[in-house]
Structure 1
């Protein structure tokens, strides 16, 4: 029974599926960790939860304007700029 299960799921055709699911799980775990550790609205410890609602706008701004957003802010929304320029330039 175990060998038939292993031969069914450990084929080379299944590796892209494992990679896609692993990438999705990794992105979800990264976002969960980011929210738990850096989100100003999430309070895990009892002392922080007792503080109630805080008006911490600067901390919220720091959370919302993270490094990736700052990096991408002044860039064109293109995935492959060289290909786009090749097909869109009339030269």
Structure 2
């Protein structure tokens, strides 16, 4: 991995942290946690590519981190989308 590759990946990671926002009326806590998890995964992968090993934590044994499954879309969003489609078809 060249220094330019490291620089590009670090810049991408910095930009992702700059875009990260806390929950509000438009963003759910689940969305924020998913974005935070992605930023964390990117940082851990960058660390591994630079040093050759995963970052160690107490009790983890140095094993590679497990991939976290994508969070499901809340059913309220599906109901809202269906309600909007139905009202658009009636209009």
Relative to the length of structure 2, the TM-score reads 0.31
Which structure ranks higher in relative contact order (CA pairs < 8 Å, sequence separation ≥ 6)? 2
More helix by share: 1
Larger Rg: 1
